Chains A and B, each alone.
Chain A
């Protein structure tokens, strides 16, 4: 296996988490040691994501190094298939090579956790006239999925909302979500604090739809 070498043991110095959000047309990167040293940045890349991601990631990481990372978070979608895949492949490969945990974070969850506390319903257009949708219970200490990320017709979603028995806030996902990268990192850190250490192999994009209409 990889011989990636660290200058110091992971438990002593590797304190940073890094997050990569590529599920929408912009790129969001965030890094945080959860002790006051944090930064994030968003780039409007569109179709240039694949050519610019790695140089930007390399520059963004500095002055930290790969050995400073304790975990990685990546947006797993829903969102653009190709963009999400580029982020997920990058994150899976980094986590595999650095031998650190990888947290896959739903784009809808990041939106919900950015909202006020309470029940949050999030919807996002999908292909073929359908919707990506989810309902979360949001609080300052965490997020709970009440209705997990799914693809459904507009009518089916309306029916779910009509029969929902508690008040909720409905949010339309914005087209560009790079700024949600900080919330993603926060959600991943909450899981990290609870002792979760997911392996990179568990994290795959959430597509919701099959490319061949059946």
Chain B
């Protein structure tokens, strides 16, 4: 039963958690949303500076909340890819220093693998294989989870991530940042069939459409054109109806692809990760469609949908149990396919590590 202190600083949340296998002993999340809202989105350098100011206090708080001391911590983990490199480096540097001074193993964790593991916090008995629909501001992927560290990307967005589309549509409707929660709230008051919007199909060179890949840039442009047309007609913008129509289109597009993917690969469980997993429209559509096909759907707790360190610690605990340790020379990477997770762990006993 490994106990891991994990740090997550890949974007705009400074998070530290202590996880004992699949049980969260403490979870600190210091959000920077209020700071970035004035810029309409995340400013990478601002995020990095804020992480420096908060990460050490969060480390101390996580130990206090968990009522643990360092002798009871088996390993130190940090998100090391993908993400904003300057932001990742703050958490990774703090983690390396903790590993060095306390002589604990370092475990680098892929951010998307963390989102996969958020579902293990929902159902500790969950075991692969299963399909993960990963939807956030930076990612939209369908991942075949075969076992710890072994993942195959079956589908992904060809342009905007789903969460990114929410943010951009919210911005063009002057609704503020972040767009997902605002649009979700407004959509509850609107008619999802008010405006037909394009789903965003991805053509295949040999003809037809890709069954699992998605595209959201055309949908975003369609919303822009719709608002321009309505404004030219001098009408007040029916923001609730636009929000509901947009959200329903995204939810249907994601649901259709996830269900097709699960059925094609004979997987009976779909787990959803990432910030868009908190979207009520997606939850309703996917749950309804999955039940029609006798598929099980797992959504992480709302607090673990957005970026957090508990999911990183959960993934790290399993890697630790399997002997996957990272060297102290581990770097931060802005991009790394989730299928390359195992490159984060040392391949020889000679690698320089903390112990």
Contact = CB atoms under 8 A, between A and B. Distances in A.
Interface of A: 1-4, 50-55, 57-58, 66, 81-82, 85-86, 88-90, 92-94, 96-98, 200-201, 204-205, 207, 211-212
B55 A212 contact: no
B329 A82 contact: no
A54 B44 CA distance: 24
B52 A97 contact: no
B125 interface: no
A214 to B, nearest CB: 11
Contacts of B328: 54-55, 58
B286 interface: no
A203 B329 CA distance: 25
A86 B52 CA distance: 9
A86 B93 contact: yes
Contacts, number: 100
Contact of A200 (B45, B56, B99): B56
Interface of B: 39, 43-46, 48-49, 52-53, 55-57, 59-60, 63-64, 69-71, 86, 89-90, 92-94, 96-102, 328-332, 352
B53 to A, nearest CB: 7
A85 B70 contact: no
B43 A50 contact: no
Contacts of B63: 1-2
A200 to B, nearest CB: 7
Q: Which 7 A-B residue pairings sit nearest by Cβ, starting from the closest?
A: A211-B45, A3-B69, A93-B97, A54-B328, A89-B93, A55-B352, A54-B96
A4 B330 contact: no
B56 A93 contact: yes
A75 to B, nearest CB: 14
Contact of A1 (B60, B102, B331, B332): B60
Contacts of B97: 54, 89-90, 93-94, 97
A205 to B, nearest CB: 7
User: SS class of chain A's interface: helix, strand, loop or mixed?
Assistant: helix
Contacts of A81: 45, 48, 86
Nearest to A85: B52
Given A53-B96, A212-B43, 14 more contacts: A2-B69, A2-B102, A58-B352, A82-B48, A85-B49, A85-B52, A85-B89, A86-B93, A89-B55, A93-B101, A94-B97, A98-B101, A205-B52, A212-B46
A92 B56 contact: yes
A89 B52 contact: yes
Contacts of A89: 52, 55, 89-90, 93-94, 97
A5 to B, nearest CB: 9
Contacts of A3: 69-71
Given A58-B328, A204-B53, A211-B46, A86 B100 contact: no
Given A55-B352, A211-B45, A82 B89 contact: yes
A58 B354 CA distance: 9
Nearest to A96: B56
Contacts of A211: 43-46, 49
Contact of B102 (A57, A97, A212): A97
Given A81-B45, A211-B46, A93 B89 contact: no
22 contacts: A1-B60, A2-B70, A3-B69, A3-B71, A4-B101, A4-B102, A50-B89, A51-B331, A53-B96, A54-B99, A54-B100, A81-B86, A89-B90, A90-B93, A93-B56, A96-B56, A97-B97, A97-B98, A97-B101, A98-B101, A204-B52, A205-B49
A127 to B, nearest CB: 11
Contacts of A86: 89, 93
A14 B70 CA distance: 21
